[in-house]
Amino acid sequence: MLSTSYVLLTIVGCGIVTLLSRTLPFVLLKNHSLPPLVVELLSFVPITIMTALWVTNLFTQHLGHLPSVNYENLFASVPTVITAVITKSLLWIVLVGVVSLAILRAVM
């Protein structure tokens, strides 16, 4: 059984860490501007970060070796991408994704 004080301490500690990661750039950039090259670099953040989050979920990591393919997530991604192209609606994309994985797990 996990002690309440241990869980609470972790919740608050991690809360502080997360809060600082999110707010410090706002505080530091309030009265300063970034150099143009950095701005250009950051313009790629939205697509690279979403790609990184997606691709890391398509593999299982084995440090020092090639990652193995997470076939469930890979196959579930196919109808999800098709839904994105057809509907351009986040709601449909998420629904089709979840249902795809549920069906895959039922048949695999």
Partner 1 sequence: MTDELDIRTAIKDTLPTVFGYIGIGLAFGVVSQSVGLSVLMVVLMSAITYAGSAQFIMVSMLVSHNPVVSIMVAVFLVNARMILMSTVVAPYFKKDSMWRNIFIGALLTDESFALSMNKVNYTEHKMSFEWFNTANLIAYFTWMIASGVGALLGQLVAHPERLGLDFALVAMFIGLLYLQVIADRSLAKSLQLIVILAEAVIIYLGLIFIPGNLLLVVGTLLGCATGVVIKHAFY
DSSP structural state of residue 9? H
Residue 26 neighbours by CB distance under 10 Å: 8
Shortest gap between Cβ of 96 and partner 1 (angstroms)? Answer: 7
Distance in angstroms (rounded) separating the CA atoms of residues 72 and 14? 31
Q: Smallest distance from the beta carbon of 73 to partner 1, in angstroms?
A: 6
Distance in Å, CB of 39 to partner 1, minimum: 8
Q: Which residues contact 64 (CB under 8 A, 6 or more apart)?
A: none
